[in-house]
Amino acid sequence: MATEAQENVEETIDSEIWLEMIYKLLSENEVRRMAAIVQPPIQGFKNPVKAPPAMLRKKTVEKIKKFTNPVSWMEKWYDPNVMKVKEAKIDFEEFCHTYRIGDTVSPAEAVAVTGILFPALFNENVVKMQQNIEEKKHPLEELGTKKLAFKRQLQIKALAWEDPPATDAVRFLMEEALDLNPEIEGSLKDWLQEKGSVESGEIASLASTKMGEISKWTEGEKAAFFQMAFHDSQKAVWKIMTDLLKEKGDLEREDKAKERKLKRLEKLNTDREEAEAVFKKVISGLESKLTAAEAELEKTRTSMQAEKDSLMQQQISLTQAAAARGADEYRLVKESDFVLITRSDREDYANLLPAEQIITIRDTQDLLEHQLESGIKYIFVHSDSFSSKEQFYLDELIEAYERPFKSVSGGVSAVTRQIIYYFEGAMINEINT
């Protein structure tokens, strides 16, 4: 059995079996990462990655199968994983141990790397790997049973636990939290020898960025440096944790202050709601009183309208009685020695003034067509019926009649009262002569 990690150009595998095993073993996260690249068309989803897992898996696999060379595409996809194993010079026995250390080697990755780097061993163990898959086991289960030396075990574990994104994230956190800028010129060894003192976290940060140089040191140098880095990382983590705990305490105090403020606001809100309830009760009482007052007003209005209708009916009855007797004793003004010039109709003054003594004109020129009888002594002009210009012109025409005249204003009733008042002699001297 070959044990070196090498590409065997003479050995070929059943690519269809290899691909189907990978398709079946892909985790939901791996499917989504592939779907983000191949963009399988899924109806109803502009972004296919948001589709349900089962549908996304089906459509992603279908899209990959339609590629001209799906084997080549899959080899490129897993090339970073293959390069990692090749650079570490891990053989198949050692590779089989990596899945037992943690979940860094996924089942799909294990099948992919085995088929690419160890094709002969893939063909030799494919039946067992398929059996493991059917039994819901890791495909490398019970493979690579050779016991490794302790040192090699540690090396394999270090490789399996290596996580570049996590390493970069921790280094970035330390540099930001501790305000570090551990960039050095020249070699790390020279820097360490020349540096009088270092900031907390500097050694730990450099340990993750200078591995290329450190790997060339002697075992003793590496052991001493990594011991320094370990202690430095502890100090850095303790400082970060102390700062975080302080910040956590500050936030907790802020939260308590906010909670107290929230309780005060809740009390104010409760008081406001109670005040609103009282206000609504008062408003409801006022609305009830207003409704009762409106009802009483409507009742009074109805009563007054009924009384008015009754009085109007009595007036109509009196008018009809007067007409039947041919009498005019019901008129308010019985004098016959005046005329009223107005634009109003004679009917407006029924039962108030004698109709024959009302001169209705539409235009001031109409007055020229009227001849006053010799018994007419006074002329009244309804000034509200005419404009100032018309009133001035009428005054000139009326002067030609050589009769006293007076302007009266207001509605029908007001005009009638003024004429009565004049005839009673209270203002007779005011009539123009």
Report which DSSP code applies to 160. H
357 contacts 380 by C-beta, under 8 angstroms:
no
Cβ neighbours around 251 below 10 Å, total: 10
Instruction: Work out the pLDDT band at 9, boundaries 50, 70, 90.
Output: very low
**CA R_g for the chain:** 57
Question: Does the structure show a pLDDT above 80 at 212?
Answer: no
pLDDT tens, 309-341? 776 777 677 666 655 554 444 455 556 688 999
Question: What is the rounded distance in angstroms from the CA atom of residue 77 to the CA atom of residue 81?
Answer: 9
Question: Does the structure show a pLDDT above 90 at 20?
Answer: yes
What tokens appear for 170 in the block? 């921790």
Question: Does the structure show a pLDDT above 70 at 390?
Answer: yes
The helix/strand/coil state of 39 is: coil
The helix/strand/coil state of 350 is: coil
CB-side exposure of 258: number of CA atoms within 13 Å? Answer: 6
Question: Does the structure show a pLDDT above 60 at 280?
Answer: yes
Task: Indicate the pTM of the whole model.
Answer: 0.41
Question: What is the rounded distance in angstroms from the CA atom of residue 45 to the CA atom of residue 30?
Answer: 19
Domain range summary for the chain, segments of one domain joined by +? 15-162, 165-184+197-251, 338-430
Chain mean position to CA 297 = 50
Question: Does the structure show a pLDDT above 60 at 402?
Answer: yes
pLDDT tens, 93-121? 777 776 655 556 789 998 999 999 999 98
